[in-house]
Structure 1
Amino acid sequence: MVKKWARLFQQGRESCEHDPRTGHPVTVVREENVRKIEKLVLADRRIKLWQIAEKLQEPMQWTKKGERPPKKFKVQKSASKLMATIFWDSEGVLLIDYLPKGTTMNSQYYANLLAQAREAVIQKRRGKLSRGVLFLQDNASVHTARVSRQALKDTGFSEIDHPPYSPDLAPSDYFLFSNLKKGVTWS
């Protein structure tokens, strides 16, 4: 860029200003923006460039010349995330647990869920526990913790090895998502 400007001055250019271009109005350098930036910098001399840009950024929308943009709706707080732990088999869903807000999934919480899953098998799949339950889970730290491993042994479930670094549990997903497609409501 420096070489370009040096060449232009050697060719007789005298101004450092950019040449006017059609179709690209200069709307950023306005007196209003200059005052806003000056106020921001005087309030906090350590303000970062990205912070200034963030505070000056206005929502952009194409409108006809002279028209005002449409009014924006009041932004409402979105629904927060919710973690659900679902235990299911080939016959359908056995148990759904929603992690309470502000709670973290840990090995003790998961151990309690395994005990609830065992009770769900006893109540919903009579006789299945005595024939043996094969249990598949991923290698998350909550699942591999000592407390969780002991709880799994206490349930009497036989764990199926999950391949390390496997991105999903695709073989078992079929039974869960086929029920979702049917529009089944669970309680």
Structure 2
Amino acid sequence: MSMTQVYQWCSWFKDGRTSLQDESRSGRPNTANNDWNTARVDELIKVDRRVKLKEISLKLDIPKTNVYEIVHNKHGYRKLSARWVPKMLSDEHKHQSRNLPNPAPVSTRRLDIIPHPAHNPDLAPSDFHLFGPLKRHLEGKKFEDVIGEVRDWLSKLDANFFTQGIYSLLPRVALHGNYIEK
């Protein structure tokens, strides 16, 4: 809280105010946060988890601040790895993330296949381990054959590149199944 706000509150209380609640004031009531808009925002996010608040605002013709209120406070979403995901994980998701195998030495590693539900909010290794280095590789290059350039880059990767990507997820999902944002 800013010092200006503290001074203002002190002044109000000296003048006899006894409540911290905002007083009612005149003006147009907020009509954008209705049930219909709330449902539409949820539908748009479920269709495309990478949708931006501005895009939702334009599609529904409601202010971006109201979209933010609906997305964050009513639905409990937050942006993670460029996707909207629920803030709270289910107990099943937390159980799965706590029971991931510990990384073994490279020579003895064996990857187990873990069931991955369709809309699981877990991080995908490709979001941070694959696409970042690929973008750095392609940066500043002029070429006609994008697919060929990507295939060439993939063929030159170290054999442990993808294994390292899978195991680098562990510290990001480590705290009792809750996400750690970095």
> What is the TM-score when the length of structure 2 is the normalising length?
0.24
Q: Which has the higher contact order (CA 8 A, sep 6+)?
A: 2
Larger strand proportion of the pair: 1
Larger helix proportion of the pair: 2
**Which of the pair has more CA radius of gyration?**
1
